[in-house]
Chains A and B, each alone.
Chain A
Amino acid sequence: MSDLITVDLVELDLPGQDRKAATAALANRLAKEGRVTDVEGFLADVRAREEQLPTGIEGGIGIPHARSAHVTTPSLAFGRCADGVDFGASDGPADLVFLIAAPDGEGAEHMTILASLARRLVHDSFKNALRTAPTPDAVVTLIEKEVLGR
């Protein structure tokens, strides 16, 4: 199985302000890597989830996500945004954006990886390390260490 995240899926300088633009920028990275087959279709699925309930979490986190038929490999695209992007959290915009893409279908083991990623997201130490990671490489190493334990 290919990795959850690679350096090509990290964007340390995400365009600010607009939720749609930020999500689309990350989705395009997924598409370029062949992890998403249809960017528009995938974004529609993400939007549908976002409309149910905004995915912003207090502490500067946005986690747009979807299980979608347009996803081939469970993937994480990570973006950092100095200006902040509003994901509907009560305490303001998010500076860490995690776009989680999961293939449609059930019972697959790879869902556990996404689950352990989600669990890490509530830890301040993890969030702070991501804020200060100097390079995409450092981000990937950090996530692999924390989420996959390697």
Chain B
Amino acid sequence: MKLVAVTSCPTGIAHTYMAAEALEQAAEAAGHEIAVETQGAAGATALTAEQIAAADAVVFAADVDVRDKERFEGKPTVTGSVKRAINDAAGLITEAVDASKNASKHAAPASPPPARAQNVALGFGSRLRQWLMTGVSYMIPFVAAGGILIALSFVIGGAEIAVMVDGGTFQGTEYPGVASLSDLFSEAGIAGVMYKIGSLAFEMLVPILAGFIAFGMADRMGIAPGVVGGLIAVEIEAGFLGGLVAGLLAGAVTMALKQIKVPRGVSGIMPVVVIPLLSVFVVGFIMIVVAGGPIASVQSALTGWLGGLAGVNAVLLGALLGAMMGFDLGGPVNKVAYLFGTAALASSNLTVMAAVMAAGMVPPLGLALATVIRRKLFSQQERQAGEAAWLLGLSFITEGAIPFAAADPLRVIPSTVVGGAAAGATSMAVGSTLMAPHGGIWVIGLIGNPLGYLLAIVVGSAVTCGVVVAAKHVGRSPAEPSPQAEASTRQAVAA
């Protein structure tokens, strides 16, 4: 019988290899062939696609998550701790053999090994998805904590709390803002403090996303260039899409730098000085010099273009602004639409602001709805993000949709664009007005024609939900693990 195994332990210098050796010995003693991938500090020699395809069963001896586990999808699998593998390798091998026999008894349709070229392409697709999910999973706590704090601050302090803290105009009243954090509590109260904490947590969304995408690709060395690239994405207003780019770029640069062979004498300072220095500089340079300029000019072009649309049909304008709100969820295009809305508000055009806010509430609401009605299309983490997204959407915190969009941009962004456009157009069509620049459902008292407004939000959310559910069925080949399957194998290993 042919077996493959992966061993992996926290430090990666001892148990990983002891387990591998023990499994090899036990398999040989029992007359089986085994190939072991040691995911340790000495670097893993990956199992080949052929080895995995030929294997009758898989053994995971791991105390930490096995990397790239989706390669083994559909194989009979046994799981144990590394200690179990060291102390009782023979037992694990026997279990693996039994698992294989059971599986073939139930006549699992052995899928023919896919053609090699296709296999490689698929491998990259699911690796990319895994990198993005790594970033998203570390980002979700920031979204949940920051978003809910901001939402609660609106509930407690009213929607004007944001301008009380940051400065600005709300309903004709000019607020200077709170200059020093030490005065925050006395001047803006608990709501002001919560708003500030939430806002700071939100500023970390994109750096954490970028940093941990790079971490997923290049391990610890990826974090520094990823986080710095993400900070720059915030600075140049590139939004979460900028963060995705920064993270992938940082991961790729770091992976490339790690490949460079250097003389022994220098190798000690590579991970300490050389790789961090070069990767941070290269990523930062590209983000500032190459990406920064075009994003700024696209923004000003869009702003000018919107300004020229003064006479256009109101419903069309609402649809357009709504689509922009849903496109990058707090990124550059979203900002242009939002600022257009607040500028209109300042010149007492209240319908535009209403359309903009409705469209900005739709993405988190629509996606939260989708996680409820089609649970199986979403990973466990996405479903958790969906629970927080209800409150964030109701509070006009569009960023609540970012975990979904960052994990699967090509399927999610179209749904938020179309849903945003539907909400914006409906809001314009029913003639709703809004006298505040933000606040979501909590400023319902400042909304003209509130029932029509709710209709706009419901229509938009339903459209987003429908589109994302349809899109999640498109282009996902059977070989790509559904999030559900991924989550259940992860739990199995943890157990």
CB–CB B268/A122 < 8 A? no
CB–CB A57/B220 < 8 A? no
Binary B-proximity of A67-102 (CB < 8 A = 1, otherwise 0): 100000000000000000000001000000000101
Interface residue SS majority, chain B: helix
B349 shortest CB reach to chain A, Å? 57
CB–CB A111/B42 < 8 A? yes
The residues of A that contact B9 with a CB separation of less than 8 Å are 53
Q: Which of B43, B221, B258, B270 has the most A CB atoms < 10 Å from its CB? A: B43
- The CA-CA distance from A108 to B13 in the complex, in Å, is 12
CB–CB B42/A55 < 8 A? no
The answer to whether B17 has its CB under 8 Å from any CB of chain A is yes
Besides A58-B87, A103-B268, 14 other A-B contacts (C-beta < 8 A): A1-B264, A55-B15, A57-B18, A105-B272, A106-B41, A109-B267, A114-B13, A114-B42, A115-B17, A115-B41, A118-B18, A119-B17, A122-B21, A122-B25
The answer to whether A63 has its CB under 8 Å from any CB of chain B is yes
**Cβ 8 A contact of A106, one of B11, B22, B83, B258:** B258
The residues of A that contact B168 with a CB separation of less than 8 Å are none
CB–CB A118/B87 < 8 A? no
Closest to A105 in B: B271
A82 shortest CB reach to chain B, Å? 23
The answer to whether A116 has its CB under 8 Å from any CB of chain B is yes
Known: A107-B43, A115-B38. A63 touches B14 (CB 8 A): yes
A20 shortest CB reach to chain B, Å? 19
Binary B-proximity of A112-149 (CB < 8 A = 1, otherwise 0): 10111011111100000000000000000000000000
Binary B-proximity of A12-55 (CB < 8 A = 1, otherwise 0): 00000000000000000000000000000000000001001101
Smallest CB-CB A-B distances: 7 pairs: A105-B271, A118-B17, A111-B42, A119-B21, A115-B17, A115-B42, A111-B41
The answer to whether B20 has its CB under 8 Å from any CB of chain A is yes
CB–CB A115/B87 < 8 A? no
Known: A53-B63, A114-B42. A65 touches B18 (CB 8 A): no
- The CA-CA distance from A52 to B81 in the complex, in Å, is 13
The residues of A that contact B16 with a CB separation of less than 8 Å are 115, 118
- The CA-CA distance from A116 to B17 in the complex, in Å, is 7
The residues of B that contact A58 with a CB separation of less than 8 Å are 86-87
A37 shortest CB reach to chain B, Å? 13
Q: Which of B12, B38, B258 has the most A CB atoms < 10 Å from its CB? A: B12
- The CA-CA distance from A120 to B43 in the complex, in Å, is 18
B220 shortest CB reach to chain A, Å? 7
CB–CB A118/B41 < 8 A? no
Q: How big is the A interface, by class?
A: 20 to 34
Residues of B within 8 A of A (CB-CB), count: 33
The answer to whether A9 has its CB under 8 Å from any CB of chain B is no
CB–CB B18/A106 < 8 A? no
Closest to A67 in B: B11
**Cβ 8 A contact of A49, one of B10, B83, B270:** B10
B223 shortest CB reach to chain A, Å? 12
- The CA-CA distance from A125 to B457 in the complex, in Å, is 73
B439 shortest CB reach to chain A, Å? 46
Closest to B41 in A: A111
Q: Which of B13, B15, B83, B220 has the most A CB atoms < 10 Å from its CB? A: B13
- The CA-CA distance from A14 to B138 in the complex, in Å, is 44
B 59-110 contacts with A by CB, 8 A = 63, 83, 86-87
The answer to whether A66 has its CB under 8 Å from any CB of chain B is yes
A53 shortest CB reach to chain B, Å? 6
- The CA-CA distance from A109 to B268 in the complex, in Å, is 11
The answer to whether B466 has its CB under 8 Å from any CB of chain A is no
Closest to A88 in B: B83
B24 shortest CB reach to chain A, Å? 9
B81 shortest CB reach to chain A, Å? 8
CB–CB A52/B10 < 8 A? yes
CB–CB A67/B22 < 8 A? no
CB–CB A122/B86 < 8 A? yes
CB–CB B11/A65 < 8 A? yes
A123 shortest CB reach to chain B, Å? 8
- The CA-CA distance from A118 to B22 in the complex, in Å, is 10
Binary A-proximity of B245-281 (CB < 8 A = 1, otherwise 0): 0000000000000100000100110111000000000
